[in-house]
């Protein structure tokens, strides 16, 4: 019996020593810059979850910490000038967009629409130029010579079926810039007469790939309000107004969005 007790006591002492050794090893952490033999003790601490949205601070959402977008003072002041929930007529909305634009430059008037479903598109000819005038070139043999040297000095290229085979070798130059003529955007026309009458105000609008959202430009903040209204109405008509459009908002490049009647 005496021998058995001695053995048990010995085993317990060895177990205690082993546990202390493991604990001491767990407390050792290697950090860059520490000298040999120095130790840093690890302490468990419970980090409180952030539940309130505070400017510039992280907000916990779905297990992830997300930094919410912080709006500036000018934006906040502009937003106070109208009722954020109310839907305004086209005339009222354009007036508010002009008043709430706070950029030092001539901002763009943007239109953002929520439509019935993704995959909807429409070709629209705006009655007034939306922003900077675009240079249109009708493809000829002279255009081909320019492209051979890599020169592209136009914003839109219009072509007829006869000259298209000559443009194919320049697909890598024109394609990435969105300048390759095609029937979808109206830049591939049946004859030269149609090419001469091509309007720079003609645009093809379509939804995002997987969302029923359309984003486009109506004009510039400095533009006449009547012209902006007519451009907006033309876009509405192209989409059948209430038949396809569920909600619409307009805003300046730097300014809050205003909900506008369809």
- Domain at 224, CATH number: 3.30.190.20
| Burial of 19 (C-beta count, 10 Å sphere; 0-12/13-18/19+) | exposed
Identify the band that residue 146 occupies on the pLDDT scale cut at 50, 70 and 90: very high
What pLDDT, on a 0 to 100 scale, did the predictor assign at position 84? 87
Q: For the chain, how many structural domains are there in total?
A: 2
Domain range for 208 is 83-130+202-259
What pLDDT, on a 0 to 100 scale, did the predictor assign at position 8? 53
Are 188 and 229 in the same domain? no
Least-confidence region, from 168-182, 191-205, 222-236: 191-205
Name the domain boundary from 180, 196, 212.
Answer: 196
Residue 70 lies inside a defined structural domain of this protein: no
- Domain at 162, CATH number: 3.40.50.790
- φ, ψ for residue 217 (rounded to 5)? -110, 135
Q: What six digits make up the tokens of 166?
A: 């000559």
- Residue 135 is classified by DSSP as P
Are 87 and 120 in the same domain? yes
- Residue 170 is classified by DSSP as G
Residue 53 lies inside a defined structural domain of this protein: no
Q: What is the 3-state secondary structure (H, E, C) of 20-72?
A: HHHHHHHHCCCCCCCCCCCCCCCCCCCCCCCCCCCCCCEEEECCEEEECCCCC
Name the domain boundary from 156, 177, 196.
Answer: 196
What pLDDT, on a 0 to 100 scale, did the predictor assign at position 31? 45
What pLDDT, on a 0 to 100 scale, did the predictor assign at position 13? 54
Helix (H, G, I), strand (E, B) or coil at 220: strand
Q: What is the mean pLDDT of the chain?
A: 80
Name the domain boundary from 153, 177, 196.
Answer: 196
**pLDDT tens-place string over residues 72-114:** 899 888 888 899 889 999 999 999 999 999 999 999 999 999 9
Are 209 and 162 in the same domain? no
What whole-number distance in Å separates Cα of residue 82 and Cα of residue 127? 29
Alpha-carbon distances, residue 116 vs 72, 88, 207 (angstroms): 33, 21, 10
- Residue 206 is classified by DSSP as E
What pLDDT, on a 0 to 100 scale, did the predictor assign at position 23? 54
Percentages helix, strand, coil for the chain, rounded to the nearest 5? 35, 20, 45
Q: What percentage of the chain exceeds 70 in pLDDT?
A: 73
Are 189 and 208 in the same domain? no
**pLDDT tens-place string over residues 198-228:** 777 777 889 998 899 999 999 999 999 999 9
Are 89 and 190 in the same domain? no
Residue 20 lies inside a defined structural domain of this protein: no
| Angle of helix 90-100 versus helix 225-238 axis, rounded to 10 | 130
More confident residue, 248 or 132: 248
What whole-number distance in Å separates Cα of residue 181 and Cα of residue 183? 7
Residue 213 bridge partners (DSSP): 114
Q: CA 183, 119, 254 angle in degrees (round to 5)? A: 95
Pair 215, 135: CB distance under 8 Å: no
Q: CA 63, 68, 69 angle in degrees (round to 5)? A: 155
Residue 10 lies inside a defined structural domain of this protein: no
Residue whose C-alpha is closest to residue 139's, from 194, 182, 195, 99? 195
Alpha-carbon distances, residue 137 vs 141, 143, 145, 229, 248 (angstroms): 12, 8, 14, 29, 34
- φ, ψ for residue 35 (rounded to 5)? -80, 160
Residue 36 lies inside a defined structural domain of this protein: no
**pLDDT tens-place string over residues 11-69:** 555 556 556 555 555 454 444 444 544 554 444 444 444 333 334 444 555 556 555 56
Sign of CA dihedral 209, 177, 231, 79: positive
Q: What percentage of the chain exceeds 90 in pLDDT?
A: 45
Residue 228 lies inside a defined structural domain of this protein: yes
């Amino acid at each position: 019996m005496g021998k058995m007790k001695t053995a048990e006591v010995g085993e317990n002492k060895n177990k205690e020593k082993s546990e202390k050794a493991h604990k001491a090893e767990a407390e050792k952490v290697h950090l860059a810059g520490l000298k040999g033999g120095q130790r840093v003790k690890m302490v468990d601490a419970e980090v409180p979850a952030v539940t309130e949205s505070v400017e510039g601070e992280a907000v916990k959402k779905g297990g992830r910490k997300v930094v919410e977008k912080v709006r500036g003072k000018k934006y906040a002041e502009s937003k106070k000038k109208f009722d954020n929930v109310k839907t305004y007529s086209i005339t009222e909305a354009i007036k508010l967009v002009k008043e709430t634009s706070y950029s030092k430059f001539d901002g763009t008037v943007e239109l953002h629409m929520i439509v019935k479903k993704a995959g909807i598109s429409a070709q629209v000819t705006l009655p007034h130029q939306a922003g900077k005038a675009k240079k249109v070139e009708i493809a000829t043999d002279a255009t081909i010579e320019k492209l051979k040297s890599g020169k592209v000095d136009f914003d839109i290229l219009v072509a007829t079926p006869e000259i298209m085979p000559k443009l194919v070798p320049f697909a890598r130059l024109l394609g990435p810039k969105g300048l390759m003529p095609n029937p979808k955007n109206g830049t591939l026309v049946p004859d030269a007469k149609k090419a001469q009458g091509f309007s720079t105000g003609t645009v093809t609008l379509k939804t995002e790939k997987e969302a029923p959202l359309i984003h486009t430009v109506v004009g510039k903040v400095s533009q006449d309000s009547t012209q902006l209204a007519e451009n907006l109405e033309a876009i509405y008509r192209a989409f059948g107004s209430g038949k396809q459009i569920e909600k619409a908002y307009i805003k300046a490049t730097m300014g809050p969005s205003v909900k506008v009647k369809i």
